[in-house]
Chain A
Amino acid sequence: MNFPAIRVIFRQEMARFFRTFIESLISPVISTSLYFVVFGAAIGGKIDLIEGVTYGAFIVPGLIMLTVMTQSVSNASFAINFPKFIGTIYELLSAPVNYLEIVIGYVGAAAAKSILIGLVILATAFFFVDVPILHPFAMLAFLVMTSISFSLFGFIIGIWAKDFQQLQLIPLLILTPLIFLGGTFYSIDMLPGIWRTLALFNPVVYLVSGFRWSFFGTADVPVVFSLLAIAVFAGACLVLVWWIFKTGWRIRQ
């Protein structure tokens, strides 16, 4: 293992994050605060308890997931697309580093940022509502696994994208709908028959459900399925990354 390489990649990416520390944190904090005000206080007051939890508290895990997923994808995809775009990727290609070391460096940094942002949003949530956390370790584990697997997914998009337009495309066309339809703001039990069945094909449902379980002890789907879903998703991404570097797809002529 080339540990110095992993370290410098990780450090470089974290430095990029901390250079724009305020912007990186402020925008998710402001937007989630707005969600709390609008959905929690204004609308939530008119909504009954869901599974014994106030609506304001109920949306906290979903909101954290929403931000962590989108941040992971955008951070990781940008991190690898940028060197491709400006040409500094030549260094990675000519250095004695293998795909695993590159992935650990870039994906590790992107995931670390998302985890940090997720925790900051959770702290923000405490200002607005009472949120119980029944299984704190499970909560952290879900946060970490989601950050890593979505960063991996973002990494793949970053390699695939030929320009900044394409970089926005997948998150906009696929990720945002999946996340919004994935039970971030509601329990999928609230959906009418056919939609509920369809929702079960949405992988985000499993992640949000598991994460929400770690807070309130109730879930849309069994927790084991949630764990399984993350494992399958992360495994699939890892295989894809391995294949990309093996064949040099879109990176090595």
Chain B
Amino acid sequence: MTPIVSVKSLTKTYSTGFKALNSVSLDIMEGEILALLGPNGAGKTTLISTICGITKPTSGTVTVGGHDVITDWRAARQMIGLVPQEVSLESFERVHKTVSFTRGLFGKPADPGHIDKVLRQLSLYDKRDNKVMQLSGGMKRRVLIAKALSHAPRVLFLDEPTAGVDVELRKDMWKVVADLRSQGVTIILTTHYIEEAEAIADRVAVINKGEILLVQDKADLMRQMGKKQLRIDLTAPVSAIPEKLARHNLALANDGSTLIFTYDTKGERTGITALLNDLQAAGLQLTDLATEQTSLEDIFVGLVKESA
């Protein structure tokens, strides 16, 4: 399968001399949802802006649907919808007008039916005749999404679509994203909410300091890199880890009434059997056992720390 967006050795140095992207390569497949994770200043917005034509690449190539964004920019841009990170809208413009404006910019003839459909999908229909300044912050963000969808793009970039959006609405947006995906739209979103990536992405890319650290199938990633923890609740608290258990990777928690054993699910032996035997030998009484999977968040924090 050929990727719908292909980024090859992309480097972006701003006029200040700052290198925001350092030889980034990334292939995005048609119909997938890719979550781009990274701390503030990692280069997420720069990457998106360069693909969409807002900033010029310093070197490297980007193609969208096989069209180079520099030499064949018209065809490339026609396929793209962009929801920017910053909410910038004209306050005096009416909702349906500003959405139709974007559709026109992308060379599509006026189509009020389609605009209304998009507005309904984003629960903005009853606000269609309002001026933008009469909307709430979350609604304005949805107007930006409506604009990006006004010309039925094949690839949609969402730069932190749920920043400053309440939990309820965030779930609504995830539904919209899932709907779009089922219509075959490829979606690239950046987010700081790891749970968001966990909830909706097919693949996750982690970027830090202008370099892609990892691109992987979300499930694979969590399986491969996931460490598990075994929580052992004791009947009587201990003041220190007993001598007999010293060889195990244990930590004390809960004022000594809980032992936490961290193990690698990838490993050939997890060491659980040996631990349980030693617990018995040490004469400890257990009240409960529980295991926990490491979250994507832990993986992410671990990766970024490593690259720092």
Distance in Å: Cβ of B82 to nearest Cβ of chain A: 5
A1-22 vs B, CB cutoff 8 Å, 1 = contact: the mask equals 0111101110010011001000
Instruction: Across the interface, name the chain A residue whose C-beta is closest to B82.
Output: A94
Residues of B within 8 A of A91 (CB): 102, 105, 147
Residues of A within 8 A of B75 (CB): 96
Q: Say yes or no: A8 contacts B88, CB within 8 Å.
A: no
A148 to B157, CA, bound (A): 37
The segment from A82-90, A154-162, A185-193 found at the interface with B is A82-90
Instruction: Across the interface, name the chain B residue whose C-beta is closest to A247.
Output: B56
From the candidates B52, B84, B104, name the one contacting A7 in the complex (CB within 8 A).
B104
A35 to B108, CA, bound (A): 47
Given A95-B77, A96-B77, A87 and B88 touching (CB < 8 A)? yes
- What is the count of residue pairs linking A and B with beta-carbon distances less than 8 angstroms? 81
Q: Say yes or no: B56 contacts A4, CB within 8 Å.
A: no
Q: Say yes or no: B105 contacts A8, CB within 8 Å.
A: yes
Q: How large is the interface on B (under 10, 10 to 19, 20 to 34, 35 or more residues)?
A: 35 or more
Q: Say yes or no: B90 contacts A5, CB within 8 Å.
A: no
Residues of B within 8 A of A97 (CB): 105, 107
Given A88-B89, A253-B15, A96 and B55 touching (CB < 8 A)? no
A170 to B167, CA, bound (A): 49
From the candidates B73, B80, B84, B107, name the one contacting A90 in the complex (CB within 8 A).
B84
B72-101 vs A, CB cutoff 8 Å, 1 = contact: the mask equals 011101101010101011101100010011
Instruction: Across the interface, name the chain B residue whose C-beta is closest to A88.
Output: B88
Q: Say yes or no: A248 contacts B106, CB within 8 Å.
A: no
Distance in Å: Cβ of A102 to nearest Cβ of chain B: 10
Q: Say yes or no: A86 contacts B77, CB within 8 Å.
A: no
Q: Say yes or no: A94 contacts B77, CB within 8 Å.
A: yes
B109 near A: Cβ within 8 Å?
Answer: yes
Distance in Å: Cβ of A223 to nearest Cβ of chain B: 40
Residues of A within 8 A of B1 (CB): none
A231 near B: Cβ within 8 Å?
Answer: no
Q: Say yes or no: A5 contacts B104, CB within 8 Å.
A: yes
Given A95-B106, A96-B74, A253-B14, A90 and B101 touching (CB < 8 A)? no
Instruction: Across the interface, name the chain B residue whose C-beta is closest to A92.
Output: B105
B53 near A: Cβ within 8 Å?
Answer: yes
B246 near A: Cβ within 8 Å?
Answer: no
Q: How many residues on chain A are close to B (CB under 8 Å)?
A: 26
Q: Say yes or no: B53 contacts A2, CB within 8 Å.
A: no
Q: Say yes or no: B80 contacts A5, CB within 8 Å.
A: no
Distance in Å: Cβ of A249 to nearest Cβ of chain B: 11
A196 near B: Cβ within 8 Å?
Answer: no
Residues of A within 8 A of B106 (CB): 4-5, 95-96
| Residues 41 to 65 of chain B near chain A (Cβ within 8 Å) | 49, 52-56
Distance in Å: Cβ of A162 to nearest Cβ of chain B: 14
Residues of B within 8 A of A252 (CB): 54-56
Q: Say yes or no: B73 contacts A96, CB within 8 Å.
A: yes
Most chain B CB within 10 A, of A9, A90, A96, is at A96
Given A96-B78, A253-B15, A90 and B92 touching (CB < 8 A)? no
Distance in Å: Cβ of A167 to nearest Cβ of chain B: 18
Instruction: Across the interface, name the chain A residue whose C-beta is closest to B80.
Output: A94
A116 near B: Cβ within 8 Å?
Answer: no
A93 near B: Cβ within 8 Å?
Answer: yes
From the candidates A4, A19, A86, A88, name the one contacting B107 in the complex (CB within 8 A).
A4
Residues of A within 8 A of B101 (CB): 8, 12
Q: Say yes or no: A88 contacts B90, CB within 8 Å.
A: yes
Q: Say yes or no: B105 contacts A5, CB within 8 Å.
A: yes
From the candidates B52, B88, B104, name the one contacting A94 in the complex (CB within 8 A).
B52
Given A8-B100, A248-B56, A252-B55, A96 and B107 touching (CB < 8 A)? yes
Distance in Å: Cβ of A29 to nearest Cβ of chain B: 24
A94 to B97, CA, bound (A): 19
Distance in Å: Cβ of B249 to nearest Cβ of chain A: 49
Most chain A CB within 10 A, of B15, B75, B88, is at B88
From the candidates B86, B88, B105, name the one contacting A95 in the complex (CB within 8 A).
B105
A219 to B273, CA, bound (A): 106
Most chain B CB within 10 A, of A12, A86, A248, is at A12
**17 A-B pairs in the complex with CB atoms less than 8 angstroms apart:** A7-B104, A8-B104, A12-B101, A16-B92, A19-B92, A86-B89, A92-B105, A93-B53, A93-B54, A94-B53, A96-B73, A96-B107, A248-B56, A252-B55, A253-B49, A253-B55, A253-B56
List 6 extra interface pairs beyond A9-B104, A91-B147, A94-B54, CB under 8 A. Answer: A4-B106, A87-B88, A90-B54, A90-B82, A92-B105, A93-B54
